[in-house]
Structure 1
């Protein structure tokens, strides 16, 4: 685990598979689940609810207008989709 004075208050800084993550303190990150062209996903436990959650970190979502639109579209879809095989969006962070 990395520590730095630049970590946002209420967040933890972790290094997972050579990628630095800043996640809210309420999550205990377990392991990397997978990665693709747009990001990496880790499994975690929400310490407040004791639920298992997935945390996705997007690679440079604002690199271009197209990347920003794709990220926004994914967030909007996840907020509204309700299906047994698709995880719902709980929180989004910068």
Structure 2
């Protein structure tokens, strides 16, 4: 999905759907508090998620534009896309601290 081709309201719907799940909200909170990228395995371990469940949630957040994923060797690293939060939901991240 190419988010730039969508209307502002369509983008908001995708973002709100992604954030409406407690696990995904916990992932966002964890990344925000860490203020750095984290490996998918580290996040999954901290939230007691199996690989397939964690992968599903990472994909949902990535497709909503809320996170980015970087692959390095066998590992994948996830970080928040703070610009999207600041543009669409200004101040939201500060409520997670």
The normalised TM-score by structure 1 is 0.23
More helix by share: 2
In terms of fraction of residues, the more strand-rich structure is: 1
Relative contact order, higher structure (CA 8 A, sep 6+): 2
TM-score of the two chains, using structure 2 as the length reference: 0.23
The structure that has the greater radius of gyration is 1
